[in-house]
Amino acid sequence: MSTFDVPIGPMHPALPEPLLLKLELEGETVVGVDFDVSYMHRGIEKLLETKTYFQGLPLVERICGICNAAHGLCYTLNVEKLYDKEIPPRAQYLRLVVEELSRIHSHLLWLGIAAFEIGFNTMFMYTWRDREAVMDMLEAITGNRVTTEYSQIGGVRRDIPPNLADKLLKTMDIVEERTKYYVKVALTERTIAKRTQGVGYLSPEEAKATCAVGPVLRASGVKNDIRADDPYAAHSDVPFNVITYDTCDVFARIVVRAQELFECVNMIRTALKNLPEGPYRVKLPMKPNAGEALTRVEAPRGELFHYTLSEGALKPYRYKVRTPTLANLGALRAMLTSKGRYVVNIGDVPISYGSIDPCICCTARVHFVDLKKGKSWVWTIDELRERSKRGRLLP
Amino acid sequence: MSMIGELIRSLFKKRATVLYPEERGKVHLPEGFRGKLEYYEDKCIGCSLCFQVCPSFAIEMVPEDKSRFPKNQTGRRPIFNIARCTYCGQCEDICPTKAIHLTNQFEVIALDKRDLMVK
Amino acid sequence: MSFEQYVVETLKTVVFPGFVFIFFLSLFYEWFDRKFYARLQNRVGPLYTGFYGLLQPLADFIKLLSKEDIVPKKVDQLLFTMTPLFTLALSIFATLLLPISSNQGVVSFNGDVIVSILILTFICITVFYAGLSTYNRYAVIGAERLFLQMIGYEIPLTLSVVGVALNAQSLLLSDIVLSQERWWYILGPQALGFIVFVFAAQAELERIPFDLPEAEQEIIAGWNIDYSGRRLAMFRLARNIELVFLCGLAATFFLGGPLGPTIEGYTPILYTLYFVIKSLFVLAVLTVVRALFARLRIDQVESFCWKYLLPLALFQFVLVRLIL
């Protein structure tokens, strides 16, 4: 049977961000897949080198609009490693609260997106409606709905006063109740089960081999969570369970994320109950010490990775970000080409793609386009190594 | 079929959205919302800290007549370009004399770029 | 035929309950569908054009008509131009069969039950060619899905209607209406047939859970991806008229059509009112179904139709036979 190519993207209703999925179809069956993520290059790493550490924070938060709290947190933790100063424990607890809040908002948003990808518009509308409660809380705590910019080098920007904490606890009750409802719907609705069970299969071995991170990895039954493995903010003091599920499909990812919502709610409750007294911020000098620092944070989408190299100057010499979506793209290819186990229909592509909670704009790699020759290409790691040995990158 | 109860309930619920331009009054903003900034020149000491932390270069330091504002010791004062502002609020945080305050005004639209300067 | 009769018949066809009435009714139904769907999802729906957005479908229609007419280079010109017209013509003709203002449609002949089902198939085939004529990859997949889906729902749909026709002992729509003077068929074993009909209608109209031929997230707009401007307007209008037709057909077969208590002299108006109310009830059911489910995959559509709808339709058929 002859095959034909169908491009999904870079502009497509199911994709919020530019990604090209070149699907090779045999009828409706996907037999091959290739992708290109280089439609968006924002040069954030380079821009960060032109800004001081304090100026860089709002920029880092804009790498990803949805997991901005995780990005900001990772940045501040990373830069703080360059100072020899203890961060007050209250700040760490407050950071945890806001990070978990943003995880709730991200997971609810993802639940809506997943429902939208399988054409379940009603659930999409409901989850996004209920997510507003969390967004309002974020706004009340930090001053802005989306780009919270809460974590600051040396602590957090604002305190959570007791009356706001009470309000937050009340919101948590609402979120818990609504999450229970969505879990019930996801578990009992036949059409959701039909569209997600067995779809986007990613075996634990493949998940490990493709370096999947976050909920995608946990849904394949691998216990891996940076919050537990390498505690950063106050995660060592606030107990929580690492949720895993063993069916390795999109359904498992829904269950894992939904169960994580309960964990987030409980973590916020515990953290607010045990909020230590003391200052929420220490003033740090503009210039950190020389050295390098590397931090991992469990963003809503998985392991987030920040690296900085400081010369002791006002500005970083090099800043490097590895976002979870880039790590999960390999897993996506494995999902879409899992031959033998089940047949991937083109109708399964959007939900499989959606199940890694993609955020393409954070991931773009260097892609070379030569307009005169009409060619475009990507350098492999070996080529880059070769060129760096020769001491020059551009030909 | 498991959503039928919720569907029928929401049929009789009030809509979840606010009809924004008509029902502007219903837009609820919390305390500490980061909106358009206000600048109190009588409090400013001209330290230029806000200029240093601004990530989007929205703040510019201009010379100031010292005699008008006795607190201002350096003879320089900031002017703010709201068109460049990202509403991060770092200037408000760092200001030692609370001369900058972010209001809850979020509708910043102007036909002329010059109207977006806070002086 | 005398001149007066001729004028009356023409007016019937063109104005009421013919083209003009159906046109506005179809726009009203689209508005109802959108508004009700929005309310189910706790949204507002159309709001600004006219009273509660009542004129929004008309505004959309006019906007589409006034848009630039884009014909892609590589399409089959003939089919690309003709299929919107055919679809519209077929769906308008179909509504003439519906008994709206009396127990008889504008066009009524023995066997119009079969013709009404046949027209649905014809519409499906024209739409299939509409997709195929653009040679777009998404459109081809959409058209192929459309046909696969049709294979699934057509037989249960016909069987559910056969049960009704069998009960009425007639293949005439007006006879079916009259036979429900005392007892609507939905209150008997045909309730099962009604369920089958609702799902089949949903599939025929390409609405969730059966909107695969134009599944937005998968194949963008499916078969109508290359249509824009007035061609798209025609397709949309045809879809809306088909919506009226299928809701009306369900009302005719299962809810007693336009029959109801009447006052002397006002019969046509009251009949029309009853028809609209009954078919709006069917539309509400269709909209709830649309809000309740996620989209199925094409193999799941097939298995749903053959595993659940067909046995249900057959069971209903057997029940009717047993009762008779």
- DSSP per-residue codes, C130-164: HHHTT--HHHHHHHHHHHHHHHHHHHHHHHHHHHH
- Mean pLDDT over the full length of chain A: 83
Nearest residue of chain C to residue B17 (CA atoms) = C43
Spatial separation of the C-alpha atoms in residues A53 and A81, rounded to whole Å = 13
8 Å CB contact of B2 and A126: no
8 Å CB contact of A158 and B32: yes
Q: Per-residue pLDDT for A341 more than 70?
A: no
Q: Is C171 on the interface with A (CB under 8 A)?
A: no
Q: Per-residue pLDDT for B33 more than 50?
A: yes
Pick from B16, B33, B53: CB nearest A143: B33
Say if CB C186 and CB C254 are below 8 A apart: yes
Q: Is C318 on the interface with B (CB under 8 A)?
A: no
8 Å CB contact of B93 and A157: yes
- Give me the pLDDT at residue A365, please: 54
The string of pLDDT tens digits covering residues C252-299 is: 888 887 887 778 778 888 888 888 898 899 999 999 988 888 888 888
Q: Taking chain C, what is the end-to-end CA distance rounded to the nearest angstrom?
A: 41
Output b/e per residue, A209-218; b: 16+ Cβ within 10 A: ebebbbbbbb
Spatial separation of the C-alpha atoms in residues C60 and C56, rounded to whole Å = 6
Check residues A116 and A342 and name the one with the higher pLDDT: A116
Q: Is B111 on the interface with A (CB under 8 A)?
A: no
Q: Which of A319-323, A357-361, C75-79 is predicted with the least confidence, judged by mean pLDDT? A: A357-361
Nearest residue of chain C to residue A27 (CA atoms) = C141
The string of pLDDT tens digits covering residues A274-322 is: 888 888 888 888 888 888 888 888 888 888 888 888 888 888 888 888 8
Strand-pairing partners, residue A292, are: A309
Our CA-based measurement puts residue C158 at a distance from the nearest CA of chain A, in whole angstroms, of 25
- Give me the pLDDT at residue C29, please: 92
Spatial separation of the C-alpha atoms in residues A20 and A18, rounded to whole Å = 7
Q: Is residue B5 part of a domain?
A: no
The string of pLDDT tens digits covering residues C219-254 is: 888 888 888 888 899 999 999 999 999 999 898 888
Give the residue from B1, B2, B8, B10 with the most C CB atoms within 10 Å of its CB, the best one to mutate.
B10
| Contacting residues of C for B19, CB less than 8 Å apart | 44, 47
Closest CA relative to residue C156, chosen from C322, C320, C306: C306
8 Å CB contact of A56 and B6: no
Q: Per-residue pLDDT for A105 more than 50?
A: yes
- Give me the pLDDT at residue C301, please: 87
Say if CB A331 and CB A206 are below 8 A apart: yes
What stretches of chain C show up as alpha helix (H) in DSSP? 3-14, 19-40, 56-65, 77-96, 112-132, 137-168, 173-178, 190-204, 216-219, 229-254, 267-292, 298-304, 310-323
Q: Per-residue pLDDT for A238 more than 80?
A: yes
- Give me the pLDDT at residue C62, please: 92
Q: Per-residue pLDDT for A66 more than 70?
A: yes
8 Å CB contact of C218 and A194: no
Say if CB C245 and CB C91 are below 8 A apart: yes
- Give me the pLDDT at residue A395, please: 47
Spatial separation of the C-alpha atoms in residues C252 and C266, rounded to whole Å = 20
Q: Domain count of chain C? A: 1
Q: Which residues contact A242 (CB under 8 A, 6 or more apart)?
A: A218, A223, A224, A225, A227, A228
Domains of chain A by start residue, with CATH = 44-323 (1.10.645.10)
| Contacting residues of C for A25, CB less than 8 Å apart | 141
Chain B to chain C Cβ contacts (< 8 Å): 26
Strand-pairing partners, residue A368, are: A377
Domain that holds residue C70: 3-323
8 Å CB contact of A144 and B34: yes
The string of pLDDT tens digits covering residues C127-170 is: 999 888 888 888 888 888 888 888 888 889 888 888 888 888 88
pLDDT band at A366; cut points 50, 70, 90: low
What is the mean pLDDT of the segment spanning C103-115?
84
Give the residue from A191, A197, A199, A344 with the most C CB atoms within 10 Å of its CB, the best one to mutate.
A191
Q: Domain count of chain B? A: 1
The string of pLDDT tens digits covering residues A29-41 is: 888 888 777 777 7
The string of pLDDT tens digits covering residues C1-49 is: 788 888 888 887 787 777 888 899 899 999 999 999 988 888 888 888 8
The string of pLDDT tens digits covering residues A126-141 is: 888 888 888 888 888 8
CA–CA distances in Å: residue C209 to residues A187, C120, C196, C286: 18, 19, 14, 11
8 Å CB contact of B87 and A157: no
What is the mean pLDDT of the segment spanning A320-332?
83
Q: Is residue B4 part of a domain?
A: no
Q: Is C10 on the interface with B (CB under 8 A)?
A: no
Spatial separation of the C-alpha atoms in residues A115 and A108, rounded to whole Å = 11
Q: Per-residue pLDDT for A27 more than 80?
A: no
Specify the 3-state DSSP secondary structure of A25: strand
Q: Is C39 on the interface with B (CB under 8 A)?
A: yes
Pick from C42, C217, C298: CB nearest A345: C298
8 Å CB contact of B19 and C43: no
Spatial separation of the C-alpha atoms in residues A76 and A151, rounded to whole Å = 7
Pick from B3, B32, B86: CB nearest A143: B32
pLDDT cut 70: percent of chain A above it = 91
- DSSP per-residue codes, C180-221: TSSS-GGGTTHHHHHHHHHHHHHHHTT-TTS-GGG-HHHHTT
Domain that holds residue B34: 30-118
Closest CA relative to residue A214, chosen from A116, A320, A118, A107: A107
Give the residue from C199, C218, C295, C307 with the most A CB atoms within 10 Å of its CB, the best one to mutate.
C218
| Contacting residues of B for A181, CB less than 8 Å apart | 6
Please state the ipTM of this predicted complex: 0.86
pLDDT band at A368; cut points 50, 70, 90: low
Q: Per-residue pLDDT for A340 more than 60?
A: no
Q: Is residue B63 part of a domain?
A: yes
Q: Per-residue pLDDT for A371 more than 80?
A: no
8 Å CB contact of C43 and B3: no
Q: Which residues contact A85 (CB under 8 A, 6 or more apart)?
A: A154, A282, A284
- Give me the pLDDT at residue A57, please: 86
8 Å CB contact of B10 and C40: yes
Q: Per-residue pLDDT for A70 more than 50?
A: yes
- Give me the pLDDT at residue A367, please: 59
Pick from B6, B10, B90: CB nearest A54: B90
* Chains interfacing with B (3 or more CB pairs < 8 Å): A, C
* Chains interfacing with C (3 or more CB pairs < 8 Å): A, B
Say if CB A221 and CB A254 are below 8 A apart: no
Q: Which two tokens stand for residue A77?
A: 């933790």
Say if CB C19 and CB C13 are below 8 A apart: yes
What is the mean pLDDT of the segment spanning A346-364?
75
